[in-house]
Structure 1
């Protein structure tokens, strides 16, 4: 059942009623209203949970939320030739937007987007004001990509083209592009058609020595390869990844940038995460190896085992690259299996590391008996089972661990007794009982291990329901 929602006006009216009718002070009235609506199952995510402010306590008709007061002031600046106070108001507006999604949502409901975009255009020639306006636009669109229209798209593209040598302007424009593309396939496609990809890859090259801008550009490139808009049945994530690689030398650009930051784990995490999104074709996986990416990642993983986020991103990249059978062998030959097992053992309490570690081992083992033996000798069997024990409620960990076990024994049956002796069967059956979505993988693992498993015949080719 979907959660109930209310308008900001309804919430504010109840808060005011608690003050007027029941004599509560503002803080108590606010807390009472929150408790009242939450007890009724109302979702208050989009509601600003604050007492309205006004010119005076008696001027109730003038009471409004701070973000709306600032917005009204900005509208006044847009309508006049004097913009002296606009930068200060834009900064205050940005501060309000960064307080939470509710403030951004309320502002958007009151037509903040056209006002902020008008401010951006009005101060385009003055850097300090332009920075304040871009920051406001970026903050407003965070979580609200539907706000972007053709005018906003043209403005952002113009900024990226006209200010390529200004890092302060570029980072805010790139951030706004990223915010407008998360969970919005149409914005991604429109911006790609407008030429955003070469601008983003050029930004990575130009500012490879500046961590903040490099990370922002990598994140924006990565978002262009997402398929996260549930409103669209088929996105163009794969096509965008190919364009980044083939038309804009994305792999080379990213690997070269990574070499400039051997000790910056935040930057390296972003770069590895972006590379993993681009390894979508067999030849791209091999290209990463040929460009020195595999050697770099092996050294990086060995030197950074204590950094969870970086380990997770490197494992994700290795998993993607191992889609190429030749790269599988190269990773194992370079000691990748041992390093993956070490990383999982080091962070066995982290579900994400265990998930990506199991997924990497699973892909390395697929159709590769020799790799399976190396993984088993490196402790891969035991660490996969340890991950299942450590995270019984984590569906993805259970699924990937079942996949590892299944792939390890599919063509190397001699490993079955060892895996069973380590207690794999009860763990797999527990995953099967606890997670419905784990059913096919768990049953496949049990089947290939030689365990008794009930396989349902869903359809016999005769008329009737599939569930009969």
Structure 2
């Protein structure tokens, strides 16, 4: 059941009632209103949870700070006073960055059109004003990608192209792209059609040593390959990934950029994350290896030992490119098995790292008996069972560990007894009982281990056998 929602006006009315009728102070009145609505199951995530304030000159009804900032901005834009616009943009941007409710309230009162007018005013050559306009638009569209319209998309692409050599403007524009495309398939497709992809890869090439630009560009590229908009039946994630690689040399751009940030886990994590989203075809996986991508992905497993997010992203990318059978062997030859097992052992307390480690090892073992031998002898099976013991409530860990065990023994029955002696059967049975998502893979693992398992035939294909 969807949570109930109320308008900002309804919430403010309740706050005013608490102040007038019950003589509460503003903070107590807001806290009481929050408690009242939340007890009724109301979602207040889009609500500004402060009391409206009277303007400093006392000339208007009480308004929230973000609306007062918006009114002042609108007046200065209408009067075409750039210096005043600068000051009011900064104040408005600060308000929007405080809370989702502030952004939502501002959007309801026409903030997007005001920012668009400020943006156009800045286009005459005022870079300081343009930067603040982009920052404010980025803040406003965070969580509200529907606000961006065709005019805004054209302005955004034109601004990125015109100011490609300016790192700060590029970074702010890339952040706008990211916010506009997250969970919004139409904006992704329209921006790609308008030519944003070469601007994203070009930003990395041009500003290859500017950490913020590279991080934002990688994040935007990754989001271009998402299929996360539930409002559309299917997206263009695969097509966008192909365009990034084939038309914009995306793999080369990302791998070269990674060489400039050996000691920056945040940027390396974004680069690894972007690479993992581009491994959508067999030849792309091989190309990544040919370009030296294994050094980029395996290095963080040792050098980034204390940075779990970087380790997780590197493991995810290794898992993705291991879909290519030749790449599986290349990873193993490069010491990938030892690196993955080492990462899982060091980060055994992290369910995300354990899940990605098991998934990566499982991909390496699939249809590869020799790789399975290397994994078992290198302690991979033992580490996976330890991960199952450490995270019994994490369905992802349990499922990927079961898949790894199944892949290890499917074509190498000699490993079954050693795994059973390590307690694999009991752990798989526990995973099967605790997590419905593990049912099929757990039964497959037990079957290939030689354990007794009931395999029900749900339908024989003959008429009349289906239950009503």
Task: Give the TM-score normalised by structure 1.
Answer: 0.97
Distance 2:249 2:56 in 1: 60
1:216-245 C-alpha deviation (Å, 9 max, x unpaired): 111111111111111112111111111011
- Counterpart secondary structure, 2:209: coil
Q: Is the 8 A contact 1:78 1:118 kept in 2?
A: yes
Kindly state the Cα deviation for residue 58 of structure 1 after the two structures are TM-superposed: 8.8
Q: CA deviation at 1:307?
A: 2.1
More moved, 347-356 vs 106-115: 106-115
Partner of 1:130: 130
* Structure 2 match to 1:77: 76
Relative to structure 1, the CA distance from residue 82 to residue 57 in structure 2 (aligned partners, 3 Å threshold; closer, same or farther) is closer
1:118 matches 2:117: yes
Instruction: Report the equivalent of 1:407.
Output: 407
Q: Distance in 2 between matches of 1:95 and 1:183?
A: 24
Residue in 2 aligned with 1:343?
343
Instruction: Return the offset for 1:419.
Output: 1.1
Label 1:466 to 1:333 Cα distance change in 2 as closer, same or farther (>3 A): farther
Tell me which residue corresponds to 2:64. 65
Q: What is aligned with 2:154?
A: 154
Note the 1:45-444 alignment, pairs <5 A: 45-55=45-55, 62-124=61-123, 125-444=125-444
1:40 to partner: Cα distance:
0.8
Shift >6 Å, 4+ stretches? 56-59
Aligned mates of 2:101, 2:16 — CA distance in 1: 19
Distance across 2 between alignment mates of 1:261 and 1:360: 24
Residues 77, 448 of structure 1: alpha-carbon distance in 2 compared, 3 angstrom cutoff: same
Partner secondary structure for residue 83 of structure 2:
coil
1:467 Cα deviation (Å)? 5.7
- What runs of 5+ residues in structure 1 fail to find an aligned partner? none
Distance 1:464 1:156 in 2: 60
Q: Distance in 1 between matches of 2:465 and 2:100?
A: 46
Q: Is 1:30 aligned with 2:36? A: no
Distance 2:115 2:425 in 1: 60
Give, in whole Å, the separation in 1 of the partners of 2:402 and 2:151.
Answer: 50
Shift in CA distance, 367/198, structure 1 to aligned 2, threshold 3 Å: same
Report the alpha carbon displacement of residue 301 of structure 1 after superposing the two structures with TM. 2.5
TM-score, normalising length: structure 2? 0.97
Question: Could you list the runs of 5+ residues in structure 2 that have no partner in the other structure?
Answer: none
Comparing 77-86 and 410-419, the one that deviates more? 77-86
Deviations 1:44-85 (A, max 9, x none): 1111111110137998x7011110111111111222132321
Alignment length, in residue pairs? 467
**Contact 1:458/1:467 (CA < 8 Å) preserved in 2?**
no
The DSSP-based 3-state class of the residue aligned with 1:441 is helix
Measure how far apart 1:199 and its partner are: 0.8
| Secondary structure of the structure 2 residue equivalent to 1:62 | coil
1:5-16 equivalences under 5 Å are 5-16=5-16
| Cα contact 2:8–2:48 (8 A) shared by 1 | yes
Instruction: Choose 80-89 or 377-386, whichever is displaced more.
Output: 80-89
